[in-house]
A = this chain, B = another copy of it.
Amino acid sequence: MDDDGPLGPRELRAWLAFLEAAHLVEHEVQRQLKRDGGLSHADFEVLLKLRTADGRRLRMSDLARQAMISKSRLSYQITQLERAGLVRRTACDGDRRSVWAELTGAGAEALARVRPGHRRVVRDNLITQLSPEELDTLGDALGRVAERLRDA
């Protein structure tokens, strides 16, 4: 199975399904977040990470790592979110290079406003389409795939 030829039919089917599902689900998620709160998916992930972080704040580079986005992109994002009042930059004493990105009250509200719809999109388009067994298999299998790439 580690040959170099084209993918077999089962392999191809799985790959195409994965690719297409990822694409289409992502599209739905984006649409809902934009519609209900004017947020990009990246914005949403950033706010989410901050909300569950200790003190509702993270240093820029940790945030970038967790949200899987580049430093320069995060810098831009945070500027936009700051402009919208959803996030605040704070100096980090102890390391004057570092900057805290901190969730504001308005940021938490924006998140709360958007979240029910977000859950609904995830549930309607993914979760409820899968049997409980499939759900677990998906979690196992893709969890491994993600973990391996994350650590690399």
- A contact set with B: CB distance below 8 Å: 1-2, 4, 6-7, 10-11, 13-15, 17-18, 20-28, 68, 116, 119-120, 122-123, 125-146, 148-150
Q: A interface, by DSSP: helix, strand, loop or mixed?
A: helix
Q: Chain B's nearest CB lies how many Å from the CB of A93?
A: 33
List 30 A–B pairs whose Cβ atoms lie within 8 Å, in order of A's numbering. A1-B128, A7-B119, A7-B127, A13-B139, A14-B136, A15-B127, A17-B138, A17-B139, A17-B142, A17-B143, A17-B146, A18-B126, A20-B142, A20-B150, A21-B142, A21-B143, A21-B149, A22-B22, A22-B26, A24-B146, A24-B149, A24-B150, A25-B149, A125-B149, A129-B141, A130-B141, A131-B141, A134-B141, A137-B138, A138-B141
Measured between alpha carbons, how far is A120 from B75 in the docked complex, in Å? 34
What residues on B are CB-neighbors of A122 within 8 Å?
A: 7, 15
Is the pair B13, A143 in contact by a Cβ cutoff of 8 Å?
yes
Q: Are A22 and B18 in contact (CB under 8 A)?
A: yes
Determine the chain B residues whose CB is within 8 A of the CB of A18 once the complex forms: 22, 25, 126, 138, 142
For the complex, what is the distance from the CA of A116 to the CA of B140, rounded to whole Å?
A: 28
Closest 5 CB pairs of A and B: A22-B22, A24-B149, A17-B142, A20-B146, A21-B142
Contact partner of A134 among B7, B21, B25, B140, CB < 8 A? B140
